[in-house]
């Protein structure tokens, strides 16, 4: 089928939950994507922070091909070697003790919420516990994850939400403290807010929440679905603060394209879930976990974290220069290779022009362009992106 036939077929058969660009992506190589018409795009979106290793990495592809020929799926009533190895690698990288593999980030959040509630139930036998989440948060669109996502537009048609959710102001410790009571069982937030506009947690905020949780016997849940797996320059963003959560969620770059997520917990907390409390058919299957194992191996051999630190600092520097050049750029925010520039105009206008110029970008919040490229980009890729971005801004204003 040609490009228009593919688009027409999709529009006739898919539920219309996305306003898609009129582009059909066909293949990828390195940090570049190609559409069915042969046009090349420099990718600074990475499938929304997923393809950390870039496209068509031979070692990654070969590992998946080998596992496909061996065993793709088996029930969780049995053990499989890739799941055991992936769990070992993930607990080591995160500093946590136990892991439950899911199919996605939103499922990881669902599991984290259930674990927090079960842990609290075992402590006092009550089922009316409360969770504090943050304004401008995004944790997913399933019912539990949606309940802790502060976006009325996402929620309004799907109420009532699960009860007992309160929302504090991100990076405002006093607003969190004001909501804590004897029913509070957990506090959940993204270590770096992504969809909300690329806002990293302030050191005094995350340290203060951790101290508050310790004093009150509350669980700290950190959502690192987007900002984890090396994107900030450490394997998990919270490691840069010297703070350890009780539960953490992961996904996106964990599988680098193969659907896999996870929630992890400290030993004491993890023991709250027993057989029958939680489950999944596909989570932790051999194919998904073989992908995760290879991702960790390639992060090490390719020195991905070192690259994120170096190129991430360069990206921030170049975006700061751009902000001084253009009055429509109010601020640059971010850490490592999760960066954002806040605009005074609709970012979608710039993003549309960028596509015309062979550059893929995504928005965040209402007025932010988000930069979440593959973690293997080079300074030369940044330079090329800046040239394309300037051209796009000039065309949009």
pLDDT tens-digit series, residues 170-225? 999 999 999 999 999 999 999 999 999 999 999 999 999 999 999 999 999 999 99
Are 68 and 12 part of one and the same domain? Answer: no
Kind plus residue range of the DSSP H or E element containing 264 = strand 261-265
Domain end among 301, 330, 351: 301
Are 98 and 202 part of one and the same domain? Answer: yes
Domain end among 301, 331, 352: 301
Are 390 and 271 part of one and the same domain? Answer: no
pLDDT confidence band for 151 (50 / 70 / 90): confident
Are 16 and 75 part of one and the same domain? Answer: no
Are 175 and 229 part of one and the same domain? Answer: yes
Domain residues for the domain of 204 are: 59-301
Catalytic residue (choose from 223, 263, 294, 296): 223
| Amino acid 296: pLDDT | 98
The closest of 100, 103, 72 to 87, measured between CA atoms, is 100
* Per-residue tokens: 363: 């928005």
Are 241 and 204 part of one and the same domain? Answer: yes
Are 76 and 195 part of one and the same domain? Answer: yes
Catalytic residue (choose from 51, 100, 101, 138): 138
pLDDT confidence band for 154 (50 / 70 / 90): confident
pLDDT confidence band for 397 (50 / 70 / 90): confident
138 a catalytic residue = yes
Edge-to-edge strand list for the sheet holding 219-223: 98-102, 261-265, 247-250, 219-223, 184-190, 130-134, 165-168
pLDDT tens-digit series, residues 331-360? 999 999 999 999 999 999 999 999 999 999
When divided into structural domains, the chain yields a total of: 2
Are 180 and 139 part of one and the same domain? Answer: yes
Are 378 and 253 part of one and the same domain? Answer: no
pLDDT at position 153 over 90: no
CB 341 within 8 A of CB 332: yes
Residue with tokens 């304004």: 135
Are 228 and 316 part of one and the same domain? Answer: no
- CATH of residue 42's domain is 3.90.1150.10
Beta strand extents in 113-214 (DSSP E only): 130-134, 165-168, 184-190, 192-193, 199-200
Kind plus residue range of the DSSP H or E element containing 219 = strand 219-223
Domain end among 301, 333, 348: 301
pLDDT tens-digit series, residues 375-395? 999 999 999 999 999 999 999
Could you give the C-alpha distances from 362 to 64, 148, 388, in angstroms and in order? 28, 23, 14
Are 290 and 335 part of one and the same domain? Answer: no
- CATH of residue 114's domain is 3.40.640.10
DSSP 15: -
pLDDT tens-digit series, residues 91-148? 999 999 999 999 999 999 999 999 999 999 999 999 999 999 999 999 999 999 999 9
Are 270 and 317 part of one and the same domain? Answer: no
223 a catalytic residue = yes
pLDDT tens-digit series, residues 75-96? 999 999 999 999 999 999 999 9
Catalytic residue (choose from 117, 118, 252, 388): 252
């Amino acid at each position: 089928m040609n490009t228009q036939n593919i688009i027409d077929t999709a529009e006739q058969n898919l539920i219309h939950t996305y306003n898609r660009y009129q582009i059909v992506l066909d293949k990828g190589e390195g940090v570049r994507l190609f559409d069915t018409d042969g046009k090349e795009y420099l990718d600074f979106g990475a499938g929304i922070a997923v393809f950390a290793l870039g496209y068509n990495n031979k070692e990654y592809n070969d590992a998946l091909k080998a596992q496909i020929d061996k065993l793709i799926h088996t029930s969780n009533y049995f053990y499989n070697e890739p799941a055991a190895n992936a769990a070992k690698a993930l607990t080591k990288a995160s500093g946590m003790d136990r892991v439950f593999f899911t199919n996605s980030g939103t499922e990881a959040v669902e599991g984290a919420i259930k674990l927090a509630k079960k842990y609290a139930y075992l402590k006092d036998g009550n089922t009316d516990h409360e969770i504090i989440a943050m304004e401008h948060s995004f944790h997913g669109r399933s019912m539990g994850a949606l309940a802790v996502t502060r976006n009325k537009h996402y929620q309004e048609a799907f109420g009532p939400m699960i009860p007992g959710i309160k929302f504090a102001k991100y990076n405002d410790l006093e607003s969190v403290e004001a909501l804590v009571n004897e029913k509070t069982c957990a506090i959940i937030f993204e270590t770096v807010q992504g969809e909300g506009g690329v806002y990293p947690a302030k050191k005094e905020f995350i340290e203060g929440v951790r101290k508050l949780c310790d004093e009150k016997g509350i669980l700290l849940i950190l959502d690192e679905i987007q900002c984890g797996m090396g994107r900030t320059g450490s394997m998990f963003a919270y490691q840069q603060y010297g703070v350890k959560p009780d539960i953490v969620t992961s996904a996106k770059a964990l599988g680098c394209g193969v659907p896999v997520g996870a929630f992890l917990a400290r030993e004491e907390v993890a023991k709250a879930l027993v057989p029958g409390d939680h489950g999944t058919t596909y989570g932790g299957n051999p194919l998904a976990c073989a992908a995760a194992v290879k991702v960790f191996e390639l992060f090490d051999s390719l020195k991905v974290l070192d690259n994120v630190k170096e190129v991430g600092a360069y990206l921030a520097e170049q975006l700061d220069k751009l902000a001084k050049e253009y009055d429509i750029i109010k601020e640059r925010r971010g850490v490592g290779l999760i960066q954002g520039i806040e605009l005074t105009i609709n970012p979608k206008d710039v993003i549309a022009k960028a596509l015309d110029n062979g550059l893929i970008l995504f928005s965040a919040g209402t007025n932010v362009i988000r930069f979440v490229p593959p973690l293997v980009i080079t300074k030369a890729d940044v330079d090329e992106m800046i040239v394309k971005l300037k051209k796009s801004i000039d065309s949009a204003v």
